[in-house]
A and B are shown apart, each in its own frame.
Chain A
Amino acid sequence: EAGVTQFPSHSVIEKGQTVTLRCDPISGHDNLYWYRRVMGKEIKFLLHFVKESKQDESGMPNNRFLAERTGGTYSTLKVQPAELEDSGVYFCASSQGQGVGSPLHFGNGTRLTVT
């Protein structure tokens, strides 16, 4: 089965610009998560979709971040306008079930650099 795919793999943008990240989960996985890792820190939760609905968006830093999952398939995460502190690696993960016993399958991440 194909894994979780993310693109672009790298993005370098200037402060104030807009960037859109895309994630294609494993087919059949209703649960989709976005995480971010800033160098040397933890992998921090951003939000969780169940199909097309946002289950938990408590980790979204502010309203410059907008995530969508139209049709319950792929998801996009838009940052507008980007700030320097938004730099990091953005991971998408999917799982078949949700909760304590369901492993997450991660994509390779998008490395975002805001200059």
Chain B
Amino acid sequence: QQPVQSPQAVILREGEDAVINCSSSKALYSVHWYRQKHGEAPVFLMILLKGGEQKGHEKISASFNEKKQQSSLYLTASQLSYSGTYFCGTYGGSNYKLTFGKGTLLTVNP
């Protein structure tokens, strides 16, 4: 079952912060975050595993709350290069199928 992402879209000015949420109705083993720029390949950002950990990548960090079956991606002091569609992907159960949400379109303006 696909995870649900919110918001669907967000527009920021350079330097502002944003939070993208990803939630699932099923127990999760891990959450992946990817960013896709228009016409390009989705690019891996980070993986969060069970244990409630928080990870960071430049000024982008994420948390994973396995009890609530949700993850959040935090973008701090956004840059123009952060624009793109952010996807969360989740692993739940015994298969090796990464299931993606519908994505969040992030636009950072000067």
Contacts and interface: CB of A to CB of B under 8 A. Distances in A.
A1 to B, nearest CB: 14
Contacts, number: 64
A61 interface: no
A2 interface: no
Interface in A30-50: 31, 33, 35, 40-45, 48
A45 B96 contact: no
Given A100-B91, A108-B41, A42 B102 contact: yes
Contacts of B95: 56
B90 to A, nearest CB: 10
A106 B45 CA distance: 12
Interface residues of B, number: 25
Contacts of B29: 100
A56 to B, nearest CB: 6
A16 interface: no
Interface in B72-108: 87, 89, 91, 95-103
Given A100-B91, A105-B44, 16 more contacts: A42-B101, A45-B99, A48-B96, A59-B97, A91-B41, A98-B96, A99-B91, A100-B29, A101-B30, A103-B32, A103-B47, A104-B44, A104-B89, A107-B41, A108-B39, A108-B40
Interface of B: 2, 29-30, 32, 34, 39-44, 47, 49, 87, 89, 91, 95-103
